[in-house]
Structure formats: C-alpha cells, structure tokens
Amino acid sequence: MFNLKSEQKVFDIAGIKVGGRPGENPPLMIASMFHNKDRILDDRKSGKFDRKRAAELIRKQEELNRSTGIPGMVAMVANTPEEAQVYIDFFLETTEMPFGIDMWVAEKRAKATEYVAKLGVQDKFLYNSITPWDKDIKGQVQRLKDLGIKHVVIQAFDDQDQSPAGRLSSFESIYSQGADGFDTVIVDTSVMNLPSTSFSLIANRIIKEKHGLPCGGAYSNGTHMWKEAREIWGLDGFRAMDAVAQGMASAIWSDFNFYGPIVTASRIFPAVATAHTLLSTFIYDETGMIPGNEDLPIRKLFAEFIQKLEEGGGRKKAKK
C-alpha cells in the first residue's frame, strides 16, 4: 500500500527535509497566522498585532516540534505587501523557522516576495504558491527565478475535472511552464471539503508515483469549512473531527500539511504524531524495517518499542 516504486525526491528548506518515501520523514506542518478573525490581530491595515501572544504561539509550535519530531513553519496571511513586510520582520526577529506568505492576488504576492529577496532570506522562504488561476504562469516563474526564489508550492486543481487525474493534469500543465527549475517544488493537491480530501490524497500518490515530488494539502480546508460540524457536535466535537481528519490525511501519502491557525497546534501536532506512528508500523509490516530518521514520531515517543522491533521481536509471519 505504501511501497512506491519510483524514486522519491527529498528537498531541504532551511534544514527541514521534505518528501521521500512514505514514513521516511515526518510531514512538514505549516501553520497560518494573521488570517481573518485571528485574535492576535488588532488592525490589519496598519499591521498592528499582539506581538507577545504571537511570539508565544510560535514558541508553542517550536516546543511541539521538539517533542514530536514533526517540523513546522508558518505561512503569514496579508492583504498588502506593506502589511506582509511587518509580519516578515517580526517573524525573522522571533524564530529561525522558515516561513511563507499567504496572499491570493499574484501581483501583491510578487511585491511581498521582492521584499524577501531584498532581505536576502530566500533560503528560509517558501513561495505559496503558483496556481492554475494565475494569468501569466511563465512570467511569474521567471520573476521568481530572477529574485533567487528557491522553494515553491505548485497548487494543483482543475475546476472542470475535480478528480485525482484532474489534479495531476493541472500540476503537469504548471510544471511544464518552467516551474520545474526551482531547487524545491512541493505540490498542494487542493482540498475543497472534507469528503474530497480523499481525492487530494489519491492525487498525492499518483503524483509521487509519477514524478517523485513531495505532495500534501491544506487539510484544514476540509475541516474548518465544515461549519455544520460545530452545530452537530459542539466545539469539542469539531476539535475531535479536525484532529482526526488532519492526522489521518497527514499520514497517507502526504509530505506536508497546511494545518490552519497556529493556535490549533496543541491538538494537531499530537494527532499527526499519533497517525504517523501508526504509519510507521504499517510500513514495518510491509518492509520489515522502520526508516532510521531519529526525528520520526515513533522513534521520539516509543524508543523502547523500536528497540524490540529492531532486535527481531516484532516480525513473525502469520501461518497460511
């Protein structure tokens, strides 16, 4: 089930390994900050926010990274390049984590990216993203290369064919327009709602099998956009659903997850660590080994169990 036949690429974003065979590396968890209704925001137009609380949230994600082995970064939402600059400056002063900027309008996103290049921090920056809705993909790609951008996300989705195959064709269309020339290319297979998350996960496998590239998605789209969940089950029920869906999705042919507001890290990181631990033992049953990466959640959290497996105590074939 998890044994992909093709070679799988592993990229390095500011020291974080992304990609590889299922279970080889923990998934990269990408939080959102300064999004609409984010409680740390005081005034979006001036970029005024609660700096103390924002720093606390970043520190919490760093702590969860250390305890689970799951790496993290932050995508900061901004409406204007000037607003983005305020957040970038704060982030660089606060943490060594890599970062991204989440801006829907391509031209504004480009202006914010110019500021990243001006600061000379391209190694830490993940460009999010080249999309099928962008009008001039070739021009955008060339502009990014001129700025020295190294790490990019390609968003794959086809309005006319929302199947996994449609996501593949959408990705290949963008990839063929020069987007294959960056140091790092990771593919966001576009989650639109909770049930269709499965289409994204299947597309992950198809693209990984064919191109060997890291794939993932914004699995929080599937959970946070299901507003009725709060009405059906209340806040605790929503949180349980969110953790289960994102944990499961992060373990199935996924190399990264845009997991939503950073304030949810306390439930999402344990959920993903749990799911990835189970993935590790699924892979052990298929291959007879667990990857040697010491940052795998199973190695961080169940070292004694791993020792017994590696001493030969866990693999006995059932009699037919």
Residue 219: give the domain boundaries.
10-313
**CATH assignment at residue 46:** 3.20.20.20
> What is the Cα–Cα distance from 185 to 182, expressed in whole angstroms?
6
Any domain includes 154: yes
Q: What is the pLDDT of residues 188-198, one digit of tens each?
A: 999 999 999 99
What is the phi/psi pair of residue 126, to 5°?
Answer: -110, 115
- Mean pLDDT computed over 22-50: 94
> What is the Cα–Cα distance from 172 to 169, expressed in whole angstroms?
5
Cβ partners under 8 Å of residue 112, min gap 6 = 78, 81, 84, 85, 88, 101, 103
Angle at 271 between CA 269 and CA 216, to 5 degrees: 75
Q: What is the pLDDT of residues 142-181, one digit of tens each?
A: 999 999 999 999 999 999 999 999 999 999 999 999 999 9
What is the phi/psi pair of residue 65, to 5°?
Answer: -60, -45
Any domain includes 4: no
- Mean pLDDT computed over 244-254: 97
Whether pLDDT at 316 is above 70: no
Whether pLDDT at 138 is above 50: yes
- Mean pLDDT computed over 18-43: 96
3-state secondary structure of 302: coil
Any domain includes 184: yes
Which pLDDT score, from 0 to 100, does residue 320 have? 45
Whether pLDDT at 211 is above 60: yes
Q: What percent of the chain has pLDDT over 70?
A: 98
Whether pLDDT at 319 is above 70: no
Whether pLDDT at 264 is above 90: yes
- Reported pTM: 0.95
Whether pLDDT at 78 is above 50: yes
Which pLDDT score, from 0 to 100, does residue 197 have? 97
3-state secondary structure of 197: helix
Tokens 């990984």 appear where? Answer: 208
Any domain includes 93: yes
Q: What percent of the chain has pLDDT over 90?
A: 91
Any domain includes 318: no
160-163's contacts with Cβ under 8 Å and 24+ in sequence apart are: 162/192, 162/196, 162/199, 163/199
Whether pLDDT at 318 is above 50: no
Number of compact structural domains in the chain = 1
> What is the Cα–Cα distance from 235 to 174, expressed in whole angstroms?
39
Any domain includes 180: yes
3-state secondary structure of 260: strand
Alpha-carbon Rg for the chain, nearest whole angstrom, is 19
Least confident of 53-57, 277-281, 316-320: 316-320
In a 13 Å sphere around the CA of 91, the CA atoms on its Cβ side amount to 25
Confidence of residue 105 (pLDDT cuts 50, 70, 90): confident
**Average predicted confidence (pLDDT) for the chain:** 95
Which pLDDT score, from 0 to 100, does residue 313 have? 61
Which pLDDT score, from 0 to 100, does residue 210 have? 98
Q: What is the pLDDT of residues 223-235, one digit of tens each?
A: 999 999 999 999 9
> What is the Cα–Cα distance from 15 to 8, expressed in whole angstroms?
18
- Mean pLDDT computed over 90-104: 96
Which pLDDT score, from 0 to 100, does residue 220 have? 97
Cβ partners under 8 Å of residue 146, min gap 6 = none
Any domain includes 320: no
**185 neighbors 223 (Cβ within 8 angstroms):** no
- Mean pLDDT computed over 60-80: 97
Cβ partners under 8 Å of residue 214, min gap 6 = 9, 10, 11, 18, 19, 20, 186, 187, 208, 255, 256
Whether pLDDT at 317 is above 60: no
- Mean pLDDT computed over 36-40: 93
Q: Facing residues of 30 across strands?
A: 73, 258
